[in-house]
């Protein structure tokens, strides 16, 4: 903004009265804090790049991993993340408008734009919560280890599981019982544990049941780790894909399929992929969260007229710097984590 | 003790309604630009596969577009472009030096680690 035009001479400068940057102490320190925080985020992203290039297993591709929207389902590559980016950019714009209003001592304007910024921040946090939940729960197919030792992710439409019919009684279910509840969860849990053998599922209580399931559509396997017969990048479709997939799921062996993600393993790619996802987006999300809190505190100050009495709205400018920084980091996370 | 020799630089930040109009116009311009760049990036990412021949070009355009976006955010939204020249330099130069060094060392190290894993 308009800076002081008076020339600095060495005497007043070294006298300690004037600041060579002609900026207040608080703003300067905010900039230095942001530089150090930027170094932290850069370190994380560079570590991500390093790991990615070092990993022999194929790294997940953004548009394959993040292609879902709430309600609408699959098939929308990157749209959701783009929406999150847009929300954050817009909330950055409303923040800069609040700062501009502050420079005109327009208290009403500052309040209006800061409220808009805070709402944008909550929207972003909500979106991130949805994305995390989606990432943790994973797809309906999971990542599967094929008979030759290769690993594949699966695309297509999962045929609904209709029911389990008990064929061998356990401690809880009797023979002939038809189970219609919690099917998907039970199925995935059993598949991970290797409790499905030749289409017969073993339930928690030790009973065994047959599975009634609709057919899958457009099943496609994409190999992500080399095996004896298949190499990374190979795509298998049709009947062959179905046979390979179900011979693994129904093999009765443990750990042939992984659903979703946690810190130890994930269905999308190498172990480090999940760890970096949680750490980088989590660390950024924590920044957004604290940014929203700081914005709320400053908003209360604005409404009480604290800064108006002071004669300037520099506190709004300083919290604005932090908020823009959060947006700035997301721009880089968006590129290096999702796009490339 | 209250000091009377401190200069309140914060008071210099004020501007008039007319100046405000121009600034707001600039803000909206930058908003449209940032949105357009994001849409372009998503379109490129969604339609050009990583296996295609154009991918290396797309990848580097992502990096260039990201730096462009970052530049607009820092210079316009964060007003760094309006600060004193040496405030700008004090923020940008140490950061750029550290990061270039870190990228260099990470790439160099990655070659060695990659060789070790490949057994070369």
Q: What is the ipTM of this complex?
A: 0.90
Cα angle value A133/A136/A139 (rounded, 5°): 100
Structure tokens at B89: 């330099």
Q: Please tell me whether residues A51 and A132 are part of one structural domain.
A: yes
> B7 and A327 in contact by Cβ < 8 A?
no
Domain boundary among A239, A260, A281: A260
| DSSP-assigned beta bridge partners for residue A212 | A163
Report if residue A195 sits inside a domain.
Answer: yes
- pLDDT score for B120: 55
Q: Please tell me whether residues A157 and A250 are part of one structural domain.
A: yes
DSSP H helices in chain A: 10-14, 25-54, 62-65, 79-103, 107-137, 183-193, 238-249, 271-276, 282-303, 306-310, 314-333
Please state, in angstroms and as integers, the Cα–Cα distance from residue A83 to each residue in A68, A120, A124, A127, following that order: 12, 12, 9, 9
Structure tokens at A123: 């929207």
> A17 and B6 in contact by Cβ < 8 A?
yes
Structure tokens at A8: 């600095």
CA dihedral A109, A114, A117, A123 (to 10 degrees): -120
CB-closest option in A1, A42, A85 to B102: A42
- In chain A, which residues have their Cβ closer than 8 Å to the Cβ of B24? 97, 100
Report if residue A17 sits inside a domain.
Answer: no
Report if residue A183 sits inside a domain.
Answer: yes
Report if residue A1 sits inside a domain.
Answer: no
- Residue B108's pLDDT band (cuts 50, 70, 90): confident
Q: At what angle do helices A25-54 and B85-118 cross, to 10 degrees?
A: 20
Report if residue A112 sits inside a domain.
Answer: yes
Residue A120: give the domain boundaries: 23-138+272-339
Q: Please tell me whether residues A283 and A188 are part of one structural domain.
A: no
- The phi and psi torsions of A211 (rounded to 5 degrees) equal -110, 130
Q: Please tell me whether residues A251 and A147 are part of one structural domain.
A: yes
- In chain A, which residues have their Cβ closer than 8 Å to the Cβ of B99? 39, 42, 46
Q: Please tell me whether residues A105 and A156 are part of one structural domain.
A: no
d(CA B71, CA B83): 15
Report if residue A153 sits inside a domain.
Answer: yes
Q: Which residue has the higher pLDDT, B70 or B5?
A: B70
DSSP assignment of A44-94: HHHHHHHHHHH-SSPPPPHHHHS--BTTTBS--TTHHHHHHHHHHHHHHHH
Instruction: Return per-residue pLDDT of chain A as tens, 340 residues.
Output: 444 545 556 665 566 666 778 888 889 999 999 999 999 999 999 999 898 888 767 788 887 788 888 777 777 778 899 999 999 999 999 999 999 999 999 999 999 999 999 999 999 999 999 999 999 998 889 999 998 989 998 988 888 899 999 998 888 888 888 988 889 989 999 998 899 988 889 988 889 999 998 988 889 998 888 889 998 888 999 889 999 999 899 988 888 999 999 998 899 888 899 999 999 999 999 999 999 999 999 999 999 999 999 889 999 999 999 999 999 999 999 999 998 8
d(CA B19, CA B33): 22
- When divided into structural domains, chain A yields a total of 2
Of A86-90, B13-17, B30-34, B58-62, which gets the smallest average pLDDT?
A: B13-17
Asked if pLDDT for residue B10 goes beyond 80, the answer is: no
Please state, in angstroms and as integers, the Cα–Cα distance from residue A240 to each residue in A91, A219, A235, A246, following that order: 49, 9, 11, 10
Domain boundary among A202, A226, A260: A260
Q: Please tell me whether residues A84 and A114 are part of one structural domain.
A: yes
> B27 and A93 in contact by Cβ < 8 A?
yes
SS3 state at A165: strand
**DSSP β-ladder status, A178-179 and A257-258:** unpaired
Interface test with A, best of B4, B6, B12, B99 (most A CBs within 10 A): B12
Distance from CA of B9 to the nearest CA of A (A): 6
Domain boundary among A206, A227, A260: A260
């Amino acid at each position: 903004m308009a800076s002081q035009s008076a020339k600095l001479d060495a005497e007043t400068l070294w006298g300690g009265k004037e600041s060579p940057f002609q900026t207040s102490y608080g703003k300067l320190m905010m900039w230095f804090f942001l530089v150090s925080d930027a170094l932290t985020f850069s370190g994380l992203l560079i570590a991500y790049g390093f790991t990615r290039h070092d990993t022999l297993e194929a790294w997940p591709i953004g548009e394959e991993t993040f292609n879902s929207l709430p309600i609408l389902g699959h098939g929308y590559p990157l749209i959701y993340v783009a929406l999150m980016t847009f929300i954050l950019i817009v909330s950055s714009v409303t923040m800069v408008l609040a700062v501009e209003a502050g420079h005109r001592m327009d208290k009403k304007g500052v309040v209006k734009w800061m409220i808009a910024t805070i709402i944008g921040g909550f929207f972003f946090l909500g979106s991130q919560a949805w994305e995390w939940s989606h990432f943790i729960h994973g797809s309906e197919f999971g990542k599967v280890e094929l008979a030759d030792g290769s690993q594949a992710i699966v695309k297509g439409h999962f045929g609904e599981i209709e029911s389990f019919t008990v064929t061998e009684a356990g401690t809880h279910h009797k023979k002939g019982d038809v189970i219609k509840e919690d099917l998907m969860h039970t199925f995935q849990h059993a598949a991970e544990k290797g409790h499905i053998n030749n289409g017969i599922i073993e339930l928690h209580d030790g009973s065994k049941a047959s599975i009634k399931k609709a057919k899958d559509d457009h099943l496609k396997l994409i190999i992500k780790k080399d095996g004896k017969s298949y190499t990374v990048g190979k795509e298998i479709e049709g009947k062959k894909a179905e046979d390979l997939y179900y011979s693994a799921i129904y093999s009765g062996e443990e750990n042939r399929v992984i659903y979703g993600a946690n810190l130890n393993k994930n269905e999308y790619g190498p172990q480090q992929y999940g760890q970096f996802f949680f750490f980088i987006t989590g660390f950024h999300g924590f920044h957004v969260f604290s940014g929203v809190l700081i914005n709320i505190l400053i908003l209360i100050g604005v409404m009480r007229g604290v800064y108006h009495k002071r004669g300037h709205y520099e506190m709004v400018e300083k919290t604005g710097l932090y908020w823009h920084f959060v947006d700035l980091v997301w721009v880089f996370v968006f590129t290096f984590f999702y796009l490339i | 003790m209250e000091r009377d020799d401190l200069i309140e630089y914060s008071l210099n930040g004020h501007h008039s309604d007319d100046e405000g109009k121009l600034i707001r116009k600039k803000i909206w311009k930058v908003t449209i630009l940032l949105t357009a760049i994001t849409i372009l990036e998503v379109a490129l990412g969604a339609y050009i596969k990583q296996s295609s021949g154009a991918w290396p070009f797309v990848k580097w355009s992502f990096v260039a577009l990201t730096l462009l976006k970052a530049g607009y955010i820092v210079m316009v939204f964060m007003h760094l472009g309006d600060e004193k020249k040496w405030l700008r330099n004090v923020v940008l130069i140490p950061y750029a030096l550290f990061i270039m060094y870190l990228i260099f060392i990470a790439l160099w190290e990655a070659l060695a680690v990659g060789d070790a894993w490949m057994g070369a």
